[in-house]
Chains A and B, each alone.
Chain A
Amino acid sequence: MVHIDDEHDTYSIQTVNLTKAFMKKRHKGIFGFLRKNTEKEKSKKQSSEAVTIALDHVNLKIRAGELFGLLGPNGAGKTTLVKCLSTILIPDEGTAIVNGYDVLKETTMVRASIGLVVGGERTLYWKLTATDNLMYFASLYKMPRAEAKNRVNELLEMMGLLDRADERLEDYSTGMRQKIAIARALLHNPPVLLLDEPTLGLDPTFSRQIRNQIQELCKDEGKTILLATHYMYEADEMCDRVAIINNGQIVAVDTSNQLKTMVREKELVEVACVNPPLGIEAELKALCSDVDIITLIHGDEAQGKPSRIKMIGEGAEAHIGTVIDALRKRKVQITSLNIGMPTLEDVFIKLTGGAKLTEGGEAQLGGQEAQ
């Protein structure tokens, strides 16, 4: 367990009871605006049902120079937290201090201190060249023209895209565009980087390149990085510490290794199998009712990734025979059995009460994230 000594650590990011709720939009059909709300609808509108709590009194402390992972399924509140820290979303309650500046009171200084990268297809001007894009954003960071030109060339070289600097981004691949998005975040050499799913939708080669770059930025340049992700690998292998967020609440914060100790050996069984039939999860839950969590994570058999049945909780090991018998009875091919070697995913499942993740790490939990 890593202890945080408040007197000796310097924090680059600190959130204090950060809370954000969104009103749910109710669509009442084409002529819905003509219809008066019934008493039931009125009371529902006023009740908590009409509100999504995206962040619920989040308290985090991220040290200077730390690569900090924020792991959670879609809708857990990761994007909302990143948006609050980057001042593009105003929290309802609490505040955050970024690089010593309050996100509510010193927005300009916060903005000058951060570099923001959000994963996804469109975050740049596709009709402009890489140089044009970066020069434009450099101007928004008040960089003198000559300094901006040098910095743009330096970053394009760092990203290996200097020879394509004058091509429009519409001719770039998704991975190349994401490199330009990272270059944009680095233009003004900010001490803090906020990265929200930076490898989303990238192929393995580009994902690896970008992950390496993120690690180098932290290690070599001493940047504080908040990496919001739903990829287990990124949180597990890259980050100094990881916070697990679910339904807007931070459910655990620690190093990946320490988090893994939260699942004890006898508490974990993983059975890998091919094409498990529909209803098998419910059947196993009925058969092993005293095990806390039984969850089926669908694999991608065509890609050679089997599905996995995970049992987490007291007595999981005692039910191995029951599970194997049930699978054999349904003629399911078992490819491997893992007992007591917890991964961050197991911790995640345990802490989130069974939120599922696919092989790629994409969480299957419902919920709404701020757009």
Chain B
Amino acid sequence: MTQSSLRSNYFVVWNEIVKNIKFLLAYPIVFVFWAIFPIFWFIPFILQGQALVGGLSSQAFAQIAGTPEFIPFVVIGSVLNSYVLSSLYGMGESIRREAYQGTLDYVLASPCNKSFILIGKAVSESLTSTIFALSQLAISILFFGIALTVGVVMPILFILILLILGLYGIALMLAALSLRFKQAHDLAHTLEYVFYLFSPVRYPVESLPLWAQAVGKLLPLTYALIAVRSLMLLKQGIAALYIEVLVLLVIDTALILIGFYLFNWMENKTKKSGIISQY
């Protein structure tokens, strides 16, 4: 890739992000949602945990989770799950919105590499998820005494990026389905609960039966949660988590490759059927 094409591709990604942020700013009611929803979303997790374990920490919980602290455990699950939600719903919805606005034809009839448009869409979604995640983190620090040490920030960000890359692969698959079937919302909703059920969002993976644990091992969220909890709660170093990192890299590569392949295949199929601008 030449320097000028690299710059023009960066310009595509940047403009896609700017466009999506401007859409967001065009609807001020969204900010009310972002201010309130993290609280509504997150506090029931904690209250449920408190009711079940009889306080903020439990030795019984420690036996399967490795840490007696229930709240930090759930906070991490909830924050990382924010990225799952935005990835599942964001990109597919964005493709659907392009079709609804009548702009999808023009986007697809342009000579730029569509991958960069998709990357722009994905990064926009991650930015909104980060606002959501930071809101939750702020609530946890202010009201529930969660401590975040400076030393683990970089390793956590590294794991977070690995998680997000894998989720982009899934988002691409859902965007491909949106392109062809015009509606992937219900599938995204189902997948959301697959993540909930099989990944250790609210409970340790050890609580699941063996077959369910095997399913959970296919999901990038499982490894990201294990890694971040190990970093934050068990005070392990990133070097000790090389297996999780390697598995995440493998899953990410597979999901992204499948995602791009599926998107290109569906785009081609949709161009043959003539339903590209339908919504």
Contact = CB atoms under 8 A, between A and B. Distances in A.
Mutual binders A and B: yes
Given A128-B19, A370-B274, A88 B105 contact: yes
A139 B268 contact: no
A90 B272 contact: yes
B109 A184 contact: no
A137 B274 contact: no
A125 B112 CA distance: 19
A126 B106 contact: no
Interface residues of A, number: 43
B8 A144 contact: yes
Contact of B105 (A90, A118, A145): A118
Given A118-B105, A139-B8, A184-B106, A108 B277 contact: no
Given A89-B271, A108-B111, A140-B107, A145 B101 contact: no
Contact of A128 (B22, B105, B273, B276): B22
A132 interface: yes
Interface residues of B, number: 36
Interface string A261-300: 0000000000000000000000000000000000000000
Interface in B95-153: 100-103, 105-112, 117
Contacts, number: 109
Nearest to B23: A127
Q: Is the interface of B mostly helix, strand, loop or mixed?
A: helix
Interface string B254-279: 00000000000000100111111110
A223 B59 CA distance: 78
Contacts of B105: 83, 86, 88, 116, 118, 123
Contacts of B12: 139-140, 142
B276 A88 contact: yes
B5 interface: yes
A136 B15 contact: yes
Nearest to A114: B109
B19 A140 contact: no
Given A22-B274, A90-B272, A144 B11 contact: yes
A219 interface: no
Contact of B103 (A88, A92, A124): A124
A111 interface: yes
A29 to B, nearest CB: 19
Contacts of A23: 273
23 contacts: A54-B274, A88-B277, A111-B111, A112-B111, A114-B109, A116-B109, A122-B101, A122-B103, A123-B105, A124-B101, A127-B22, A128-B23, A132-B22, A135-B15, A137-B106, A139-B8, A140-B12, A140-B107, A142-B112, A143-B11, A144-B7, A184-B106, A371-B275
Interface of B: 4-5, 7-8, 11-12, 14-16, 18-19, 22-23, 26, 100-103, 105-112, 117, 268, 271-278
